[in-house]
Every structure is written in structure tokens, then in C-alpha cells.
């Protein structure tokens, strides 16, 4: 049975009590949730992360998000690709991107097995364990992962390492007057190496994540993403903040839009960010007010953002389209000053 959406993080006291009942501010424990729970993450600009430490008070109350995307939690079995992920218990599904990420969300580990994108499955041979449960303040976790991926007929040998540290605990303030205790701060760095006939790409993902009690959804995620190739290194940053949480939903609302774009208005660089679970290559097309194409670029596969330099552009209104020519492309207006 579907329960009502607890929008804008206006949690009932009963739900907060349930989520916090097993929590300890100095220990991150396995989440407690129902099949069908869903949540919405808002994508913001670059925001400084809260400092590590004991008995901290992290303030994100003034954060303004540009866009959002939804995640739906479902059992890994039954599912269309369950045979590829026999050890996974749960799916984090993003309906609008046709993606399913196979996970273990406890009781022993926060563990990643791979996922399905646009009907293509990419399972890891050796899973990536992000951290164990319980995860005590001051503890550090290390793990290695590997897999062989078939990406549009190209074989990619993937390997990587993960290091996580639980280096802070305290309380957090979120937009809408929400104040939560028993919050844990986890700093995680993943280094991923993809080797194929075309060369070697290295991805370094550094995240600072805030989790509360036994809630499965993160409260805030800061991400620094680097793509290192033989010719260049690209760095992008983003911040995501929990906007809403729903219990036992049979379906979830679609994101407000497919990508975030900031700053807008802009004078220098404009950053486009989409779901952190959707790192497929994207085409970006920009047109001026006459309809003339002034910029067309394709993002690096594996990155969830790209940057456009508008320094030389004339002031005015432009349209930015993500994946033009495909089904349901998303278009937004960009103002260049």
C-alpha cells in the first residue's frame, strides 16, 4: 500500500523517532527502510563542505538547489537482471534515466555490484565495498574492486580502490528548517582505472557524505570528480542535498529536470550537472536567439558533468539542450551577461 509523500523533509516526529532509534552519533549503522522507499536529491552549485570533527554543527540551511533527480529502492530479486547480480539485495533505481544500481545497503556493508543503463548490464566481478557497518568514528576502510565491462562492443578492464574514513559526527541543518542529530560525516575516495584498446582512463571520485541515524538516503553529498587521460585532466565539483523522502512508494515523481546548470546568468564558465548515477556520455548543444548553433560538445564518458566556456560569447539569451535529437531532450535557457 502506498503511503503519502513526506515532501520537503517535513518528517513526522514518529518517523524521525524510527529513523533515529538505533542511531549513535559516533557510529554509522546499517540503514532501516522499506521496499519502495524513495527520495529526491537536489543538485546545487559548488558549496564548501562541513569540517570534520566531534560534536559538530553543520549548516546547509541556506543551500539553494538548481534541479533534482529521484531514486527508488526496490528488491534486487525479482528483477530483469538479477542473474548478473546474485549477491545484491537491493536496487537503487532512477526511472527517468532508465538506470538500476545494484547494491547491498546492509546489514554488513554498503556495497556496489554494478548496474544497468539503457538496458545494458555492467556487473563487477569483484564488488566495491564503500564501508562496513557499523562504522565507528575514527575508523578507516579500504577495499579493491575489479570487473570486465562490454561497452558498445568494446571490452574494458576495470579495477579500482576505495578508502573511506568516518571523520565527524554531530548535527546538521537543512533547507526548510530541518534540524537532524546523530549525523555521521564520511570521507570517501575511489580511484578507478579503465584499460582498453584505446588507452587508459583514470577516474578519481572524492566525496564527503553526511548520513543520519538509520536513514538510507544521504543528507548531503559533496563530489569532486577527476578524469585523467593521456592528454588532459578534467575536474568538476557538485553538491547534492536531500529534498524529500517517501516511504513505501509504488512509483516516484520524475525529476524536475534532467540537468542542473549554474551559474545562470553567467560570464565565464557554465557547469552542467546531471545525476551522479548517470555518468554516460552526453551531447550538449547551445543555440543563440536566432537558432544558430554556437556550441556543440560531448561529455567524457564516466563524468556526470561538463563545462562550457562563454567568455567570448555575446550577451544575450541562449538555449542549452541535453541530448538533442533523442527522445525527450531537455532544454533550458542560459543568460550570458
Tell me the pLDDT of the chain averaged across its residues. 83
Contact 131, 109 (CB under 8 A): yes
| Percent of the chain scoring above 90 in pLDDT | 42
pLDDT of residue 10: 27
Domain chopping of the chain, boundaries: 5-246, 260-336
Q: Cα–chain-centroid distance for residue 75? A: 20
Output the nine-digit C-alpha cell for 284.
550538449
Beta strands 140-151 and 316-322 are unpaired
State how beta strands 330-336 and 293-298 pair.
unpaired
Higher pLDDT, 91 or 96: 91
Report residue 50: phi and psi, to 5°. Answer: -65, 145
| Contact (CB, 8 A) for 116 and 100 | yes
The model's pLDDT over 151-182, given as tens digits with 9 standing for 90+, comes to: 778 899 999 999 999 999 999 998 878 888 88
C-alpha cell recorded at residue 3: 503511503
What pLDDT is stored for residue 9 in this prediction? 28
Predicted local distance difference test score (pLDDT) of residue 207: 96
In this structure, are strands 53-59 and 154-174 parallel, antiparallel, or unpaired?
Answer: parallel
pLDDT for residue 33 is more than 50: yes
> Looking at the predicted structure, is the pLDDT value of residue 42 above 60?
yes
Among candidate residues 222, 226, 256, the one with its CA nearest the CA of residue 47: 222
Q: Give the separation between CA 265 and CA 241, rounded to whole angstroms.
A: 22
Mean pLDDT within 97-116 = 91
- What is the reported pTM? 0.71
Q: Given this model, what pLDDT does residue 22 score?
A: 41
- Model pLDDT, residue 275: 59
Phi and psi at 17, nearest 5°, equal: -65, -40
| 19 touches 37 (CB < 8 A) | no
Do 116 and 280 contact (CB within 8 A), yes or no? no
Contact residues for 295 (Cβ-Cβ < 8 A; gap 6+)? 284, 285, 286, 308
- pLDDT, tens only, 255-269: 444 677 777 788 888
Nearest to 127 by CA among 62, 190, 181: 190
Whether the Cβ atoms of residue 108 and residue 131 lie closer than 8 Å to each other: no
CATH of domain 260-336: 2.60.40.3080
- Tell me: the pLDDT tens digits for 184-213? 999 999 999 999 998 999 999 999 999 988
pLDDT of 325 over the 60 cut: yes
Residues with Cβ within 8 Å of residue 30, at least 6 apart in sequence: 105, 106, 107, 108, 133, 134, 214
Distances (CA, A) of 98 to 224, 240, 267: 25, 20, 34
- d(CA 101, CA 119) in angstroms, rounded, equals 12
Give the residue carrying C-alpha cell 541562449.
318
pLDDT surpassing 70 at residue 301: no
Top-ranked range on mean pLDDT: pick from 215-229, 240-254, 301-315: 215-229
| pLDDT at residue number 265 | 82
**305 class by beta-carbon count within 10 Å (0-12 exposed, 13-18 middle, 19+ buried):** buried
pLDDT interval class at 62 (50, 70, 90) = confident
* Residues 69-82 pLDDT 10s: 889 999 999 999 99
Amino acid at each position: 500500500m502506498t503511503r503519502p509523500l513526506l515532501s520537503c523533509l517535513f518528517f513526522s516526529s514518529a518517523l524521525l523517532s524510527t529513523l533515529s532509534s538505533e542511531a549513535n552519533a559516533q557510529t554509522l549503522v546499517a540503514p532501516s527502510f522499506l521496499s519502495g522507499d524513495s527520495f529526491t536529491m537536489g543538485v546545487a552549485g559548488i558549496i564548501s563542505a562541513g569540517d570534520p570533527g566531534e560534536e559538530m554543527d553543520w549548516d546547509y540551511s541556506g543551500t539553494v538547489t538548481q534541479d533534482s533527480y529521484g531514486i527508488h529502492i526496490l528488491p534486487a530479486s525479482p528483477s530483469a537482471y538479477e542473474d548478473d547480480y546474485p549477491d545484491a539485495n537491493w536496487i537503487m533505481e532512477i526511472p527517468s534515466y532508465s538506470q538500476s544500481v545494484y547494491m547491498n545497503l546492509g546489514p554488513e556493508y554498503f556495497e556496489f555490484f554494478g548496474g544497468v543503463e539503457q538496458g545494458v548490464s555492467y556487473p563487477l566481478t569483484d564488488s566495491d565495498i564503500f564501508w562496513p557497518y557499523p562504522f565507528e568514528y575514527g575508523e578507516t576502510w579500504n577495499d579493491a574492486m575489479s570487473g570486465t565491462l562490454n561497452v558498445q562492443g568494446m571490452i574494458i578492464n576495470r579495477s579500482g580502490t576505495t578508502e573511506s574514513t568516518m571523520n565527524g559526527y554531530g548535527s546538521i541543518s537543512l533547507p526548510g528548517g530541518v534540524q537532524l542529530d546523530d549525523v555521521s560525516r564520511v570521507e570517501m575516495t575511489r580511484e578507478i582505472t579503465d584499460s582498453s584498446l584505446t588507452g587508459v582512463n583514470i577516474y578519481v571520485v572524492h566525496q564527503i557524505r553526511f548520513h543520519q541515524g538509520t536513514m538510507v538516503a544521504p543528507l548531503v553529498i559533496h563530489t569532486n570528480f577527476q578524469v585523467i587521460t593521456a592528454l588532459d585532466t578534467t575536474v568538476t565539483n557538485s553538491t547534492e542535498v536531500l529534498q524529500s523522502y517517501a516511504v513505501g512508494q509504488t512509483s516516484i515523481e520524475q525529476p524536475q529536470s534532467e540537468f542542473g546548470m549554474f551559474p545562470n546568468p553567467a560570464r565565464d564558465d557554465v557547469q552542467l550537472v546531471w545525476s551522479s548515477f548517470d555518468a554516460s556520455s552526453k551531447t550538449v548543444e547551445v543555440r543563440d536567439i536566432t537558432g544558430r548553433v554556437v556550441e556543440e560538445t560531448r561529455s567524457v564518458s564516466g563524468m556526470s558533468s561538463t563545462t562550457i566556456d562563454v567568455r567570448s560569447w555575446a550577451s544575450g539569451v541562449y538555449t542549452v539542450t541535453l541530448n538533442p535529437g533523442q527522445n525527450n531532450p531537455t532544454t533550458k535557457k542560459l543568460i550570458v551577461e
